[in-house]
Amino acid sequence: MPWTMNDYPSSMKNLDHTTRKKAIDIANSMVDEGYDEGRAIPIAMEQAREWKQNASKKELDEYKESGQPTQRSEEGKRYDDNPERLDEGEHVIAQDNGWAVRSSDAKRASHVYDNKNEAVKRAREIAKNKGTYLTVHKQDGSIQEQQSY
């Protein structure tokens, strides 16, 4: 069943309105992509808290006023090109348009940054949240650094 602002996991009850709404959006999207609800909820809550901490006042106000959270489909969806990636490590890889953050077996990057340090910072956050590992590659593709979390 899709979560809403009136029907959400009890673990979200202590989140403020805007953070709860964002967590519901994230969790609904994760479940649509094939994540197990039990794993999606804590990840969504953590990402929502981080989003709120880093968002500008304008962004928070716009999001708060944007209506109800996005609802997931009743049956959920699973995409062949985006399987559950919670057990996969994160890689920082050079691309033509910058530095990509990508899960181990992903075909596409989740984020692309102009600056390698920004990409490493984001990949490290993701790997820590998932409890996996980070592999940073040099421009030529060889491994520069590896870290487990």
Domain regions of the chain by residue span: 10-64, 90-148
pLDDT greater than 50 at residue 80: no
Q: Round to whole Å and give the CA distance between 79 and 81.
A: 5
13 in Cβ contact with 58 (< 8 Å): no
Please state at what angle helix 116-130 crosses helix 37-54, rounded to 10 degrees.
140
* Span 39-62, average pLDDT: 89
* Span 43-67, average pLDDT: 86
The DSSP output letter for 44 is H
Looking at residue 77, what is its pLDDT? 42
Looking at residue 144, what is its pLDDT? 95
Q: Give the contacts of 99 (CB within 8 A, at least 6 positions apart).
A: 92, 93, 112, 113, 114, 115, 116, 118, 119, 120
Average pLDDT, the chain: 83
- How much is the CA Rg of the chain, to the nearest whole Å? 17
Residue 31 — pLDDT band, cuts 50, 70, 90?
Answer: confident
pLDDT greater than 60 at residue 9: yes
Query: Residue 51 corresponds to which amino acid?
Result: W
Looking at residue 109, what is its pLDDT? 84
Range 109-118 burial, b when 16+ CB lie within 10 A, else e: bebbbeebeb
